[in-house]
Structure 1
Amino acid sequence: MDEPRTPQARRWWHLDPGGAALGLVFAILSVTPSLLPRPAAAQGAITALSFGAGYLIGVLLWRWLRRLIRPEQQRLGGRAAWIAYGAAMVASIALLSGLSLHWQNDVRRMVEMPEADSTHVGAFLAVFVPLTVVLLAIGKGVRRLSRRLRGRFSPLIAGVVTTSIVAGVALAGGAGALAVVDSIFSGLNSGVSAEVTEPGSAHRSAGPDSAIAWESLGHHGSDFVGGGPSAARIEAVTGLAAREPIRVYAGLESAPTDAARADLVLAELERTGAFDRSILVVATTTGSGWLEPQTVDALEYLHAGDTAIASMQYSYMPSWYSFLFDPDAPVHAARTLFDAVYERWSQLPADDRPMLVSYGLSLGAHGSQAVFADLADVRTRTDGALFVGSPNGSELWRGLQAARDAGSPAWQPVLDGGREVRWISRPGDDSDLPQPWQKPRVLYLQHATDAVTWLGPRLFWQSPDWLEPDQRGADVSPSMRWIPVVTGLQVLVDMMLGDQVPAHHGHNFGNVVPSAWRQVTGDAGLDAAAFARVQAIIEDYAPIKSTLE
């Protein structure tokens, strides 16, 4: 039986009481603290979507409840009741705005960011209110369509037709949005930064005698090949005689397949004399082909340029897109490149070949880890590995985390006393581990507030150990509580915004990479003053561009 059509129900401004109440509950849950601060506009959008979801569920529940109540008891009252209802909604929005500011400042203090002021509330409301109105209008439009269809067809057919229309529009909108995303990032990939120029050094891909064209490298490939410190710059900073660092990269347009790109990279390593260097790093890029400048530059400073770094592009889309729609891409690319380099490297005399190191950041860390069956395989086929901000779904990382020594926290685990693999967040974190660190060394850089590391499917239905009082990192808000579904969605948002915080937090590891490389690979003999100069230079880099890279 259809609900009564009272005059109030036909007015455009009418809000269903059940929908409004549950929508407000969902909205409040959406502003509770999570790992990282959220920009006010983003929080406004999230809260509006949360209110919309709660409102829809609340409408359905209220409709079901009203079927159990006698018709004469269903009326909410006259004009005074509606005025009180409206006032309560205005007060609720004010409360919501205040809670958003209070809890966001709680998180901001934990990650060493200045507190937000009243402008946060203004920006929050500027997005929350209009978007909520739009969502309510869409919902009322769908409801009106359903009513009209029920007047012409049976309830079943009307429901099927309404659902089909809504689903079709949603799918078309989603497909259109993905097409726009693809177009945007395809265009970005074809551009070259104004700060870099085509290399004139034979030690770089796209340089003299290189088989790889400059135009084929893509945006991030050209940044990598055209950037970094020169030998002269390294000498000025470290005081050591330096060599020109070798950087080899194949873009998506350099060759049509992963195998062909790996062959190009191998040929470039041979051409540039990379196998005669002290350090050879096989690096897996993030989703869009990006390699973090802080990390690659730090290695070259530490080893006075006696290095070669090899990588190749497998996508131009941001990491979240690659992870959702083509999760095998980084794995296949990483395995193809590493296996090609490893086969050639293993043919060289053991006492006359470079130190072979595996490296990856974020989705690149996921790909790099997937090359190896287990920790023993990493240490058998490399001379060291550095995995930065590992995603939660990486099997190697998950296995090592699960096997950690009793009593060690999830955000900074200890395995076998630190004998073969270690996790650090800041330099010196592992200084008091009981076991000597044997070579080859495997090192994870991991922060307690890095959403990339902690976002996994179980977070939506199971409380994680990293939120337990004795496991919680010092920069995780004490006010953060696990809430089914809500926490998973919050950490998903944190993952998108995780690099907008200072070093030591989130997905920002630039300050610790010099120490990390030094622990895994050693250095060229830098004294304390030279290392401090390198550290200062790397820390002065702008924060990493985006977790979405």
Structure 2
Amino acid sequence: MTSRSTQTRTRHWWALDPAGSLVGLAFAVLSITPSLLPRPAVLQGALAGISFAVGYLLGAVVWALVRRLLWRGGTVPPFRPGWWFVYAAIWVAAILGLSALALDWQNDVRGLVAMPPLDGVNVTGFLLSFLLLAVLLLAAGKATASMFGHLRRRIGAVLATAASAIVVVAVVGGLVFAAVVGVDRIYLARNALPDAEVAEPTSDFHSAGEASSIAWESLGRHGANFVGGGPTAAEITQLTGAPALEPIRVYAGLESAPSIEERADLVVAELERTGAFERSVLVVATATGSGWLEPQTVDALEYLHGGDTAIAAMQYAYTPSWVSFVFDPDAPVGAARALFEAVEQRWLQLPVDERPLLVSYGLSLGAHGSQAVFADLEDVRARTDAAMFVGSPNGSSLWRSLQAARDADSPAWQPVLDAGREVRWMSRAGDEDLLTGPWEQPRVLYLQHANDPVTWLSPELLFRSPEWLESAQRSSDVSASMRWIPVVTGLQVTVDMLGGEAVPAQHGHNYGDVVVTGWRQVTGDAALSPEAIERIQAEIETYAPISSYTE
């Protein structure tokens, strides 16, 4: 007669662990609850699949430990075949029952970000992505467990653990390497040429122009878009009704020079050539991971100051910010520091009363790099005349220290520090009037949304409830139905980050609607009339079409 333990060891490889299946089901169901931003059905299915796999692993491990503790040397109570029919019925009931609830939740979140409601749930898209990911992850986990079981019977538990770990690391490492190579090739090809509508500049005030030592072909896609775009002096005058200069735009691509130090020196040489140190405002900008500078922000500055500006930047990668951050987190920091210090060194050589305003700026991963240049808030204000950091990632040390030091009665999503005397936070136009006390020069400004997943995604979100979800801290832009769930909320906000820019302005990772106000707060403007400011605002708001991510 075959014992229960033998039956357990020889069961088919495709058999599911009952406890793991239950916990996986719970995690998958919980992943459908609302988070910061709307999610399309396909990505919701992928999120549910990953959540199911994580829950399955946790449930299976815990159940294995319980079996060892409670039934050591004894018989484990059997799970009868009928259990799986009950389990399948639970899944059907969950899908049917949650469809309407999920639609309500998603429409609640869509309403909060000014998006139209959905009429129904795309169950097919959800199920396809869910099943694909869940099956793949379960198969990978079972293959690993099966390998460990075979090795343990042959060489013992200790050696089997070591050998299994080596194999898993090798396989995962190989897959990651293949993915990195694939992503690298895709974005390397995209980096080669500018957008079709962008022409090589002829202005002497732009890098790659006729007198520039920087070759057009060396700039990369986003660098070429930057120096080949932007308003001309005539266009600025037409919009504002005031005289204007030709704005200066300087940029060095990855191919412009072999090292970040050489690229930084090349940028300074270009600033010298174009007369940038004679302008009123000089911005040292840190690009995003792909080398992109947001047109809304840079154009807004040039309109506000009648082109009496110079913007300097350089490329440190050509992959999206999340790829650059995961695989080379030091790149934006090193590039930002090299560029700022090179510009600062030359700027300090000028007579104090002849220096332009020196401004530090960065968006997203660029904000992370720009902040890392400085030791603390005092250092920012000692070395710049203004700073604006937009959509700061959660891991930025300066941002975290300022958030932690904020006044006790201010919420995490819109902090107040020392009554706003040195640094302030804004989310939308009108926030500049919330604090009435003095804001001393030099001014530091953070643009920050309560539902920007880039800002709120952190490792702690996996195991600790964030303060921005507490009732006294929660913003009206965050769904009242959103609740912190261990592990699941971290996965949800990770998925939200993928669509952080696929929502209208004033929400998510979009800040184009508030950059005009932001620049005016930290750098002023060229004494423009209120009507001219309104025209600039209207122009900038036309820049950002919304992608189809959540449609």
Shared fold (TM-score, shorter chain, > 0.5): yes
SS at match of 1:280: strand
User: 1:330 Cα shift?
Assistant: 1.4
Aligned equivalent of 2:446: 444
Segment of structure 1 superposing worse, 142-151 or 124-133 = 142-151
* Native 8 Å contact 2:4 2:76 kept in 1: no
* Native 8 Å contact 2:51 2:491 kept in 1: no
Shift of the 237–465 alpha-carbon distance from structure 1 to 2, 3 Å rule, reads same
Shift of the 71–311 alpha-carbon distance from structure 1 to 2, 3 Å rule, reads same
User: 1:8 Cα shift?
Assistant: 11
Give 5+ residue unaligned stretches, structure 1.
none
1:121-132 superposed matches below 5 A? 121-132=123-134
Shift of the 94–11 alpha-carbon distance from structure 1 to 2, 3 Å rule, reads farther
Report the residue type matching 1:58 in the other structure.
G
Instruction: State the alpha-carbon separation in 2 of the partners of residues 130 and 515 from structure 1.
Output: 46
Aligned equivalent of 1:28: 29
Instruction: State the alpha-carbon separation in 2 of the partners of residues 309 and 470 from structure 1.
Output: 41
Aligned equivalent of 2:267: 265
Report the residue type matching 1:486 in the other structure.
V
Pick one of 260, 277, 280 that aligns with 2:279: 277
1:148-173 deviation line (CA, Å, top 9, x unaligned): 55676656655555554444322211
Instruction: State the alpha-carbon separation in 2 of the partners of residues 158 and 333 from structure 1.
Output: 44
Shift of the 313–72 alpha-carbon distance from structure 1 to 2, 3 Å rule, reads closer
Instruction: State the alpha-carbon separation in 2 of the partners of residues 530 and 25 from structure 1.
Output: 56
Report the residue type matching 1:307 in the other structure.
T
Shift of the 396–132 alpha-carbon distance from structure 1 to 2, 3 Å rule, reads closer
Aligned equivalent of 2:60: 59
Report the residue type matching 1:251 in the other structure.
G
Aligned equivalent of 2:20: 19
Instruction: State the alpha-carbon separation in 2 of the partners of residues 7 and 457 from structure 1.
Output: 37
Aligned equivalent of 1:474: 476
Aligned equivalent of 2:49: 48
1:63-107 deviation line (CA, Å, top 9, x unaligned): 4555646988734446x5543443233323434545543432332
Aligned equivalent of 1:369: 371
User: 1:48 Cα shift?
Assistant: 0.6
* Native 8 Å contact 2:390 2:448 kept in 1: yes
1:256-314 deviation line (CA, Å, top 9, x unaligned): 11111111111111111111211111111111111000000011111111111111111
Shift of the 275–83 alpha-carbon distance from structure 1 to 2, 3 Å rule, reads closer
Pick one of 100, 106, 109 that aligns with 1:107: 109
Shift of the 398–155 alpha-carbon distance from structure 1 to 2, 3 Å rule, reads closer
Q: Percent identity?
A: 62
Instruction: State the alpha-carbon separation in 2 of the partners of residues 104 and 311 from structure 1.
Output: 39
SS at match of 1:221: helix
User: 1:367 Cα shift?
Assistant: 1.4
Report the residue type matching 1:283 in the other structure.
A
* Native 8 Å contact 1:254 1:261 kept in 2: yes
1:47-446 superposed matches below 5 A? 47-65=48-66, 68=70, 74-77=77-80, 82-145=84-147, 154=156, 161-446=163-448
SS at match of 2:55: helix
User: 1:364 Cα shift?
Assistant: 1.0
Instruction: State the alpha-carbon separation in 2 of the partners of residues 73 and 420 from structure 1.
Output: 65
Instruction: State the alpha-carbon separation in 1 of the partners of residues 545 and 170 from structure 2.
Output: 41
Report the residue type matching 2:29 in the other structure.
I
User: 1:457 Cα shift?
Assistant: 3.0
Shift of the 442–546 alpha-carbon distance from structure 1 to 2, 3 Å rule, reads farther
Shift of the 212–24 alpha-carbon distance from structure 1 to 2, 3 Å rule, reads same
Shift of the 184–419 alpha-carbon distance from structure 1 to 2, 3 Å rule, reads same
* Native 8 Å contact 2:223 2:292 kept in 1: yes
Question: 2:39 aligned with 1:38, yes or no?
Answer: yes
Report the residue type matching 2:24 in the other structure.
G
Instruction: State the alpha-carbon separation in 2 of the partners of residues 166 and 205 from structure 1.
Output: 48
TM-score by length of 1: 0.92
Report the residue type matching 1:43 in the other structure.
Q
Instruction: State the alpha-carbon separation in 2 of the partners of residues 514 and 41 from structure 1.
Output: 36
* Native 8 Å contact 1:31 1:99 kept in 2: no
Pick one of 447, 454, 457 that aligns with 1:455: 457
* Native 8 Å contact 1:499 1:506 kept in 2: yes
Instruction: State the alpha-carbon separation in 2 of the partners of residues 2 and 306 from structure 1.
Output: 82
1:123-161 deviation line (CA, Å, top 9, x unaligned): 212211233233334444455555555676656655555
Shift of the 286–152 alpha-carbon distance from structure 1 to 2, 3 Å rule, reads same
1:342-370 deviation line (CA, Å, top 9, x unaligned): 22222222222322111111111111122
Shift of the 429–162 alpha-carbon distance from structure 1 to 2, 3 Å rule, reads same
Instruction: State the alpha-carbon separation in 1 of the partners of residues 268 and 75 from structure 2.
Output: 81
Give 5+ residue unaligned stretches, structure 2.
none
Instruction: State the alpha-carbon separation in 2 of the partners of residues 369 and 135 from structure 1.
Output: 38
Aligned equivalent of 2:518: 516
Shift of the 362–138 alpha-carbon distance from structure 1 to 2, 3 Å rule, reads closer
Instruction: State the alpha-carbon separation in 2 of the partners of residues 131 and 24 from structure 1.
Output: 14
* Native 8 Å contact 2:503 2:546 kept in 1: no
Instruction: State the alpha-carbon separation in 1 of the partners of residues 33 and 540 from structure 2.
Output: 35
SS at match of 2:352: coil
* Native 8 Å contact 1:97 1:124 kept in 2: no
User: 1:509 Cα shift?
Assistant: 0.3
* Native 8 Å contact 2:360 2:388 kept in 1: yes
Report the residue type matching 1:199 in the other structure.
P
Instruction: State the alpha-carbon separation in 2 of the partners of residues 544 and 497 from structure 1.
Output: 11
Instruction: State the alpha-carbon separation in 2 of the partners of residues 401 and 162 from structure 1.
Output: 43
Shift of the 420–545 alpha-carbon distance from structure 1 to 2, 3 Å rule, reads farther
User: 1:538 Cα shift?
Assistant: 0.6
Report the residue type matching 1:279 in the other structure.
V
Segment of structure 1 superposing worse, 435-444 or 141-150 = 141-150
SS at match of 1:508: coil
* Native 8 Å contact 1:279 1:308 kept in 2: yes
Report the residue type matching 1:35 in the other structure.
L
* Native 8 Å contact 1:185 1:316 kept in 2: yes
Instruction: State the alpha-carbon separation in 2 of the partners of residues 543 and 98 from structure 1.
Output: 30
Shift of the 173–432 alpha-carbon distance from structure 1 to 2, 3 Å rule, reads closer
Shift of the 261–114 alpha-carbon distance from structure 1 to 2, 3 Å rule, reads same
1:221-265 deviation line (CA, Å, top 9, x unaligned): 001000111112111111111211110000111011111111111
Instruction: State the alpha-carbon separation in 1 of the partners of residues 95 and 380 from structure 2.
Output: 54
